[in-house]
């Protein structure tokens, strides 16, 4: 089965309250072949939420996908796309240090992504955020909505 996954993260302030969202598209399940969800946390950065969106999508697809499957993960985060496709192997080889010999930021999230992608057949695609892609716009709206709902819950007695 082939899946198309769209992910996004959002923060209100950076750092600040944050949220993630993902959308999975395929034939044969859910509401017209679509499944989407989001979540929010009180304190995050935008990069952490971009990574968390991928983690949550990978957890979901691993638990619910019909195997064998392939997936195209589309993100508007260069950090996520380049991290997975270019940097991750070098970070691991260099003891989780960057080329500048600094500790990798968000290491715990990168380690979880590394664990989740192991053995999966995935392609990664970057698209410009807030562009023309309707699915990217959809997950952006989901993440922004989740942040707003969290902020409302935090400020209301």
Which of 67, 130, 132, 134 is flagged as catalytic?
Answer: 130
- How many domains is the chain built from? 1
Domain span holding position 120: 2-155
Distance CA 18, CA 55 (A): 15
Q: What is the pLDDT of residue 93?
A: 95
Task: Convert the pLDDT of each residue in 28-71 to its tens digit.
Answer: 665 678 899 999 999 999 999 999 999 999 999 999 877 778 89
Which of 56, 65, 76, 83 is flagged as catalytic?
Answer: 76
Q: Is the dihedral of CA 148, 151, 156, 157 positive or negative?
A: positive
Partners of residue 103 on adjacent β-strands: 97
Distance CA 104, CA 24 (A): 29
Distance CA 49, CA 16 (A): 11
pTM of the model: 0.94
CATH code for the domain in which residue 135 is found: 3.30.420.10
Look up residue 83 and give its two tokens. Answer: 């991290």
């Amino acid at each position: 089965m082939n899946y198309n996954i769209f992910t996004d993260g959002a923060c209100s302030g950076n750092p600040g309250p944050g949220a993630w969202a993902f959308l999975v598209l395929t034939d044969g399940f859910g509401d017209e072949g679509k499944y989407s969800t989001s979540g929010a946390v009180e304190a995050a950065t935008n990069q952490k939420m971009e990574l968390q969106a991928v983690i949550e999508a990978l957890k979901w697809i691993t638990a619910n996908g019909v195997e064998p499957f392939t997936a195209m993960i589309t993100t508007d985060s260069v950090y996520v796309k380049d991290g997975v496709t270019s940097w991750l192997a070098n970070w691991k080889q260099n003891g989780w240090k960057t080329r500048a010999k600094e500790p990798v930021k968000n290491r715990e999230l990168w380690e979880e992504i590394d664990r989740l992608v192991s053995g999966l057949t995935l392609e990664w695609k970057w698209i410009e955020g807030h562009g023309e892609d309707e699915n990217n716009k959809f997950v952006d709206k989901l993440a922004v909505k989740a942040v707003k709902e969290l902020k409302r819950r935090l400020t209301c007695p």
